[in-house]
Amino acid sequence: MLKTRLTELIGIKHPIIQAGMGPFSNNNLCVAAANAGCLGLLSTSGLFNKDDQPWVYNAFCDTGEANRDDDMATVLDTVLKRTHRLVKNKGGIFGPNVMVSAELKEKANVMIETAIRAREENPEMKKTLKVMYTSAGDPMGWGEKIKGAGFIWIHIIPSVRAAMRCKKAGVDVIVASGHEGGFHTHWEPLHSMVLFPAVVEAVADEKTLVVGGGGISDGKTVAASLALGCDGVLIGTRFLATQESDFPPLWKQSVVDAQDRGTLVARGYVGPARWLRNPRSEEHAVNTLKKSPGVFLGTPDSYTTMEDMSLIDYENESIKAVFEGDKEKAMMAAGECAQRINDMPKVEDLVRKIVKDAEETLTNLPKKFVK
């Protein structure tokens, strides 16, 4: 049994957080992860895509047993209550992943207030809906609302400077996200081996925990993250390729089929993104170099200031193709660890194996040394 400060703080069995992986639905994956003893995270940004990406929005509503015609708050409320109902008997713990970038502030407020209201209306949910996970924005200004409502607050960041901003804001658990991670990566590539210990050294103390994410897929990488000072890990791509995962079959199988050097970085909705390598994503990378070179130079740009919208049109078409099962036009996001994933197990079996292998790795580590 791997007991850490993360398991003690949140009340989970294992020091593992299942990544939110927005904007795509992971409603059923969250339930499975929470019931397996991890912290389950609900993606919520798919709610923003009702008009421009209905295939994403519809999947979110359908897997969450919500009415597609309801407003955003009502849909989320339905999903939160459904998740609570499905995890409470096994002591599962979960939370929503809310993007808090400046342009999404109004929607983020709706998300957070909906979660607060759901707990107030059903106090039993305080035992399961214990966490508020924020991402893709500045944590400053959110603490009073989130912690004031009694949530454990987790925020994800890509750098030491951002981690120190989290500490100033009062975040309880800071997730250090290495560049190996899938889909939305960062303008300045900083990988897990450097980022994890740097963030731990900068901010970890008796009140501030650090979790590592990016490239983690098995017991060995969990053990390595703990050895680097982390209190737990964030796992995304490995959970994507599981039987309970809500992701389209083509996406899941493409992760399993990924080979050596199986990913690349090209443009994504909010900046650099890591995609599975195929002819479609390779073409997208070439077009990114021409039209959004900042992705490769570490210089942020924005779709709101770009005259040529062909990159986002290409991405929309490619994501739609995944949902339609069109392999020729499909483009799937995934982390570098995809090349180490070769099967599609049940979540409970996966978690059990990861924890067992991590324990064995840590136990056997002294045997590596010559006396």
* Nearest alpha carbon to residue 312 among 320, 304, 321, 303: 303
Strand ranges, E, within the chain: 16-18, 39-43, 93-99, 131-135, 152-157, 173-177, 183-184, 209-213, 232-235, 263-268, 271-276
CATH code linked to domain 5-248+341-362: 3.20.20.70
Tens-digit pLDDT string for the chain (371 aa): 899 999 999 999 999 999 999 889 999 999 999 999 999 999 999 898 888 899 999 999 999 999 999 999 999 999 999 999 999 999 999 999 999 988 888 999 999 999 999 999 999 999 999 999 999 889 999 999 999 999 999 999 999 999 999 999 999 999 999 999 999 998 888 999 999 999 999 999 999 999 999 999 999 999 999 999 999 999 999 999 999 999 999 999 999 999 999 999 999 988 899 999 999 999 999 999 999 999 998 888 876 666 677 898 999 999 999 999 999 999 999 999 999 999 999 999 999 999 999 999 999 999 888 88
Torsion of the alpha carbons at 18, 23, 26 and 30, rounded to the nearest 10: 40
The order of strands in the sheet holding 183-184 is 183-184, 271-276, 263-268
Task: Give me the pLDDT at residue 360, please.
Answer: 96
> How far is residue 168's CA from residue 171's CA, in Å, rounded to a whole number?
8
Task: Give me the pLDDT at residue 119, please.
Answer: 95
Cα 144 to Cα 73, 148, 283: the distances in Å are 21, 5, 45
* Nearest alpha carbon to residue 187 among 339, 93, 341, 300: 300
Task: Give me the pLDDT at residue 303, please.
Answer: 67
> How far is residue 123's CA from residue 42's CA, in Å, rounded to a whole number?
20
Both structure tokens of 285: 């990378």
CB < 8 Å & 24+ apart, contacts of 10-13: 10/39, 10/93, 10/130, 10/131, 10/152, 11/91, 11/93, 11/130, 12/37, 12/38, 12/39, 12/93, 13/37, 13/38
What is the model's pTM? 0.95
How many CA atoms lie within 13 Å of 126's alpha carbon, on the beta-carbon side? 11
Task: Give me the pLDDT at residue 306, please.
Answer: 67
Q: Domain coordinates of the chain in residue numbers?
A: 5-248+341-362, 259-333
C-alpha triplet 46, 47, 48: angle, nearest 5°: 90
Task: Give me the pLDDT at residue 304, please.
Answer: 66
Task: Give me the pLDDT at residue 298, please.
Answer: 86
Q: Which residues 6+ apart lie within 8 Å of 16 measured at CB? A: 33, 37, 38, 39, 222, 232, 233, 235, 351, 354, 355
Cis preceding linkage at 23, omega within 30: yes
Q: Are the C-beta atoms of residues 343 and 243 closer than 8 Å to each other? A: no
Task: Give me the pLDDT at residue 338, please.
Answer: 97
